[in-house]
Copies of this chain bind each other. A is one copy, B any other.
Amino acid sequence: MATDTLWLETRTAEPDLATTMARIGHHARTAAAALSLASAEAKVAALREAARAVRARGSEILAANASDLEEAESDGVSAAMRDRLALDPKRLEAIAAGLEAIAELPDPVGRVLAAWTRPNGLAIERVAVPLGVIGIIYESRPNVTADAGGLALKSGNAAILRGGSESFYSSRALVGALEEGLRGAGLPEAAIQLVPTRDRAAVGLMLGMSEYIDVIVPRGGRSLTERVQRESRMPVIAHLEGLCHTYVDGAADPAKARAIVLNAKMRRVSICGATETLLVDRKAAPHLPAILADLRAADCELRGDDETRAIDPAVLPAGEEDWRTEYLDAILSIAIVDGVGGAIAHVNRWGSHHTDAIVTEDQQAADRFLREVDSAIVLVNASTQFADGGEFGMGAEIGISTQRLPPRGPVGAEQLTTYKYLVRGNGQVRP
């Protein structure tokens, strides 16, 4: 791998990290200018070629991953973390297929978002364009390297990736495949760069590089995101947390309620769309025992308010701390509320404005919940675990934004664009 050796020589044999980071930034800025003008076909070719390279370099990538796993074990990293870190042929194939899926998405650049003509004859268009250079700071899982790099590329951006130090070798090997894709399509390799060091000081440097980076995307735990929000000189697309609720209304279909609550909590407990708090309309209390039995059978710990415990004394007590906790575990807090109004008040007070669901056959209650719950995603009669760019039909996602300003909710290729105004006249001057 002559190229990778060169990469090591020119980008890691650097005495001064600040100089290295500035050079990476400069290369990214130049690459972004080229990427923003790249044809849809060239980007598709680069993604397909990258997928091919992931498969062709399979043994190299798995060997790199083995190095990461060895170091993780000797560093005392937990088995659960090591499982998240581990690649195998199946996971590698999923990474390659993910790149191909991104290739197949509609090109998000150049879409005419609006067009109108003014009385003076000026024709105005609002057209989607790339953001520029995206800095992505993430933790552990190596597949994020391919997803994030692929989405940035699809949307015509350059990416500077700062992966978790645990997945350093794996990410480096995957970026090698992405670079091969870019080269194969005649696009600049520097469109996707990995910060070539595990030195944590690189993160602080990235957060100050407003000259070179247009947007920062943190993807990881709360402490990473909060640090990025605090320190970044650039706008941030942040995913803070998913404290999601499912509310079972008095007019709920009991069978749907059982199926949805069980799925929303237990399908996967560690994802941001997992329900953390179950709200039950006092009128739906008769359905509660069956719902709790399902959850118990699935080994879910139950913590409820006094009314819940009056119905089922085996439920542990819950307090304010539970209403504000994203467990990401097989634990559910439960509160009895007074109808849809009580549910909305609880969600807006304690939730994280991520994803919340109502189960009801009452159209009015559903409409009120949709309107008044102040969250990025609000569902009726469906599991909160659908909070996912893939499930929304966006292809891969780089995360789910819990911010208010756009992009809000799942962030896919389309959400990694901005827009500009094109105005065509024939000599107009302003009176």
Give residues in A with beta carbon < 8 Å to B.
Answer: 33, 36-37, 116, 118, 122, 124, 129, 131-132, 214-215, 229-230, 233, 235-237, 253, 255-256, 259-260, 262-264, 267, 348, 366, 370-372, 374-383, 385-386, 391-393, 403-406, 408-409, 418-430
Contacts and interface: CB of A to CB of B under 8 A. Distances in A.
17 contacts: A132-B404, A235-B235, A235-B405, A237-B405, A255-B427, A260-B427, A366-B424, A376-B421, A377-B423, A378-B420, A381-B425, A381-B427, A383-B428, A385-B429, A392-B421, A404-B418, A406-B406
Given A122-B382, A372-B37, A393-B118, A409 B421 contact: yes
A132 B374 CA distance: 10
A96 B297 CA distance: 65
A404 B215 contact: yes
Given A122-B382, A256-B427, A404-B418, A371 B409 contact: no
B408 A420 contact: yes
Nearest to A273: B430
Interface residues of chain A: helix, strand, loop or mixed (majority):
mixed
Contacts of A406: 405-406, 418-419
Contact of A386 (B122, B230, B348): B122
Contact of A37 (B33, B371, B377): B371
B405 A131 contact: yes
Contact of A374 (B36, B267, B371): B36
A131 B405 CA distance: 7
A426 to B, nearest CB: 5
Nearest to A215: B405
Nearest to A348: B33
Nearest to A230: B233
Given A214-B404, A391-B118, A404-B132, A421 B385 contact: no
Contacts of A377: 420-421, 423
Given A118-B393, A235-B405, A371-B37, A380 B424 contact: yes
Nearest to A236: B235
Nearest to A256: B427
Given A372-B37, A378-B421, A422-B378, A116 B393 contact: yes
Contact of A379 (B372, B404, B408, B423): B423
A420 B375 contact: yes
Nearest to A410: B421
Given A256-B426, A260-B427, A376-B421, 12 more contacts: A124-B392, A131-B404, A132-B404, A214-B404, A237-B405, A264-B429, A377-B421, A381-B424, A382-B423, A405-B418, A406-B406, A406-B418
Given A382-B423, A420-B408, A427-B381, A403 B235 contact: yes
Contacts of A371: 37
Given A132-B404, A377-B421, A429 B393 contact: no
